[in-house]
Amino acid sequence: MTRPSDPLLRTRGRASRFGRQVLDATLDHVYGRTRATYSGASTAELERLFDEPLPETGRDPVRVLRECRRKVFRHSMHMSHRRIFGLFNPAPLPVAALAEIPVAFLNQ
């Protein structure tokens, strides 16, 4: 397990393994989730998920990813759902999101 004091991106191998975990978690969510438009959680329930002090130090990135899956992914709106009529700019196609990876890394 990666410790907060052990930089995740110190080596290509570590960055690659974690990058695959992030990508897999995201694709699992996009392609494997139930097809409801949202979780149904109330505003109060969502506020309780994040009602904690910000961490004073870094945390294990794998733990943060698990927490994101539980708190953020699970409750995100399914913007490309056929029952959402309020927005006509759905979530990007996976290929477009993947194209953002080199953009983000290269900062161009």
Note the pLDDT of residue 10: 82
Note whether residue 82 is domain-resident.
Answer: yes
CB burial string 83-98: b at 16+ within 10 A, e below: eeeeeeeeeeeeeeee
The whole domain housing 17 covers 12-106
Note whether residue 49 is domain-resident.
Answer: yes
Q: How many domains does the chain have?
A: 1
Note whether residue 90 is domain-resident.
Answer: yes
Note the pLDDT of residue 30: 81
Instruction: Report which residue type is found at 71.
Output: K
Give the Cα separation of 73 and 92 in Å (integer): 16
Note the pLDDT of residue 2: 47
Note whether residue 2 is domain-resident.
Answer: no
Note whether residue 5 is domain-resident.
Answer: no
User: What CATH number does the domain containing 71 carry?
Assistant: 3.90.1150.170
Residue 10 half-sphere exposure toward CB, CA atoms < 13 A:
7
Block means of pLDDT (10 residues each) for the chain, 108 residues, are: 59 90 90 77 94 89 92 83 66 82 85
DSSP H/E element including 44: helix 43-49
Note whether residue 1 is domain-resident.
Answer: no
